[in-house]
Structure 1
Amino acid sequence: MSSPPLVAARPIPAALRRIRPPVSWRYLASRAATGLLAVWGAATLVFFALYSTNNPAILLVAPDAPPEEIVRLTALYGFDQPLPVQYGRFLASVVAGDFPDSIRYGGDPVAVALGRLPASLALGGLSLLIGVVVGAVIGYVAATARSAAARRVPLAVATALDAIPTFFFGVLAILVFAVWLGWVPATASAGPAGIVLPALTLSVAFIPAVARVFRTALVDVLQADHVRTARAKGLPERVIVLRHVVGNALGTTLNVVGIQAGVLLGGAVVTESVFGWPGIGQLSISAVQNLDYPLVIVCVLVIAIGFVVINLAVDIVAALLEPRLRS
């Protein structure tokens, strides 16, 4: 029996050959590799910080524990092994998520840290929303307002707020809005309204950065050739600003927002401590104070991984908005 004739493969249409993914795989791979490198660096720093105590087993027992217990734990967790062996076992435990039980909570430290993560994400999300909206408005006014006072005063106020320490602004916010005016509660235990002051305090930390970067990006785009061409065509100023200016200025601003969003997880330590917010920042402070060695490791790793994931997501969004980053 004769075999059927071979059918030549159809050539790929030119229109399909021109289709490219919104973000190149090489760009995503490079950003993911950078993120993994950052997580590895954070884990390595934690390991050597704990190794500087000479024997981390001392942190796993009570201060009045007998020497025999310290010797037993030292052999159990391999702290008597050479440093390269300990480092390899440490990285293996990080990859597997297998850590000793928390000293204070007596359970899996990963579950303890992840239980506090939603509170930190809620606080960070609201703070980010406030900071981006207020910072973008200030930057927009500083770049487009006709009055010199309107261009300079809001940006100067935001820059002045940048010089105020977070803990001082938090205490001042409690004194004014909670004690004197009585508008909102001072602590997180008061219910949903307890998130207002912590979110406001945390947002002030990065409003100036968003305002300055957005204002600089807007000024650069306003001087671009395509904006002058749009004005020469007689397009309304509102259409020019919204379609041709703001959209092109968002890519640069999103990079700053991504960095600030990642810092929120770790940078909220002071804010959560001032307001008693039950997030991972306050948990990490408590773990350090209680010498809870396994929980300290997990808190640092969760914050580092959160920073990497948030920045990777923001980089993807920025690449979608900025054509120069798509290739």
Structure 2
Amino acid sequence: MTRLISRRRVLTGAAAISAAAILPRASLGADWRPTETVRLIVPAAPGGTTDVMGRLLAAHLQTAWGQSAVVENRSGGGGTIGTAEVVRQKADGHTILVGNPGPNAIAYSIFRNMKYKPEELQPVSNLIRIPNIISAHPSVPIKSIAELIAYIKANPDKLTYGSSGIGQSPHLTAAWFLQLTGLKMVHVPFRGAGPALQAALGGDIQVLFDNLYPTLPQVQDGKLNALAVTTPERAALAPKIPTVRETGPELAKFDVSSWFGIFLPKAPPAPVLDALNKEIKVFLERADIKENMAKIGARTDYGTPQQYSDFIAAETAKFGAIIKQEGLQMDAG
């Protein structure tokens, strides 16, 4: 079976598209323009989705605004170090945060030593959403969420599940699933998605909660059995994989995804907020961006600042409730 192209290769290839590509005329309509270099702060290491989305948007903004736009990676503290850097800056449009669930929804509840508050950031728009996926090693007779639930009930405390780390989106996906079903599995956290996937492929853990990539190619190669995706809708790249919601009424509201969006420091002038939001809309409507996002199972997710603010508030509340029930508390570092 032909393996799907890797997420990094797709995204890096998209980032290499010439910034001089012709943009829709709508991108020229906003009144505000930056007067100096625009900094896009990525609170993560180079190479991941947060980083590449920042680089793609930076190239777009540089062409649209005729002003240099550079990406600065400020990783550490689960994304809180780079985010704290942004909240200290002027809200004049020259410093932009590329955010994700870690520092912009989960961190507020899980970290004891937070250095910023939600109201210190202005949500501008989401960029993309990617489902998480639940899979199982072929050595266990589990090929659906219903079978997983039945197996746990018949074999209490025998299944282990892996994630990319305590407090990460895949871990909280599992925690919420277990809370809603009243079941238990033993959590085995790993330092990143790569080691967790290798443990699942080797049968060291029986169940894996992960982002759609890098698990999906392993499912397509028959090395893991896909049980479900965690978004309300099925993934376009894998329409035969059901959603968690399809299992039963106790999971009818289940909705977890990895999302990547844009923030400014609090209280930006209206023309700044409007201009950036409009350019994000143009960026996400580009055919090349839609095509490359689809290749990694992502969907573009533009919204107004109010819509994105409401989304962030709901995500923060959702993860906060999961974390509280789990009794999780950590130091950001």
What interval of TM-score do these two structures reach, taking the shorter chain for normalisation?
under 0.3
* TM-score (norm: length of structure 2): 0.24
* TM-score (norm: length of structure 1): 0.24
Structure having the higher Rg: 1
Between structures 1 and 2, the one with greater strand share: 2
Between structures 1 and 2, the one with greater helix share: 1
